[in-house]
């Protein structure tokens, strides 16, 4: 079986009924891997695929929303965003300014601005549900595969949570 969509084309399912689609898109000067997945194609709706396509098409705005979500958690000393920022400050030490895109004097803001959007995974079967519909993965550099922040978005595009994956 397969699902056809204007943006994604023909989404063929595997022997277990799952679907997977992947593409690399450019966002500014960085390449972002976009994956769309669902364990059972029967749980994927046309509306969910339309929303997934719109998230990809407006990736810059989605990135801005995710970064605002991270910034909103900076004042909470117990948030995973704050812990991540402290970890980056400790890890880079005096060389932190060398890896920052912009140095304003506010380390938290500068680190969040400097994070690279590595990937966005769209969980197409979660459209309209309470679980994340999209997960954006951020890291300070391309080699930080374990030291990342994950921003979970609902199918309405709002930030549900931000967590570290270290």
pLDDT for the residue 121: 97
In the predicted structure, residue 114 carries a pLDDT above the cut 90: yes
Name the pLDDT band for 148 (thresholds 50, 70, 90): very high
**The pLDDT of residue 28 is above 90:** no
Whether 165 has a pLDDT exceeding 90, the answer reads: no
| pLDDT value of residue 144 | 65
Predicted pLDDT of residue 99 = 87
β-strand partners of 12: 2
Mean pLDDT of the chain: 91
Per-residue burial over 104-116, b = 16 or more CB atoms within 10 Å of its CB, e = otherwise: eeebbbbbbbbbb
Q: pTM of the prediction? A: 0.92
pLDDT tens track for 68-104: 999 999 988 889 999 999 999 998 888 888 889 888 8
8 band by pLDDT with thresholds 50, 70 and 90: very high
Whether 124 has a pLDDT exceeding 70, the answer reads yes
Query: Which contacts of 153-156 are long-range, i.e. CB under 8 A and separated by 24 or more positions?
Result: 153/55, 153/62, 153/65, 153/66, 155/48, 155/51, 155/126, 155/127, 155/128, 155/129
């Amino acid at each position: 079986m397969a699902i056809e969509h204007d943006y994604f084309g023909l989404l063929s399912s595997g022997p277990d009924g799952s679907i997977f689609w992947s593409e690399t898109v450019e966002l500014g000067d960085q390449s972002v891997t976009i994956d769309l997945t669902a364990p059972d194609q029967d749980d994927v709706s046309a509306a969910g695929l339309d929303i997934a396509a719109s998230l990809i098409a407006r990736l810059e705005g989605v990135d801005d929303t995710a970064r605002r979500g991270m910034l909103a958690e900076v004042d909470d000393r117990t948030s995973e965003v704050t812990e991540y920022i402290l970890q980056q400050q400790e890890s880079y030490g005096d060389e932190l300014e060398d890896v920052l895109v912009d140095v304003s004097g506010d380390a938290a803001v500068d680190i969040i601005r400097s994070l690279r959007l590595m990937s966005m995974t769209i969980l197409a079967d979660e459209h309209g549900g309470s679980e994340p519909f999209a997960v954006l993965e951020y890291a300070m550099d391309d080699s930080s595969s374990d030291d990342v922040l994950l921003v979970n978005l609902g199918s309405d595009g709002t930030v549900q949570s931000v967590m570290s994956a270290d």
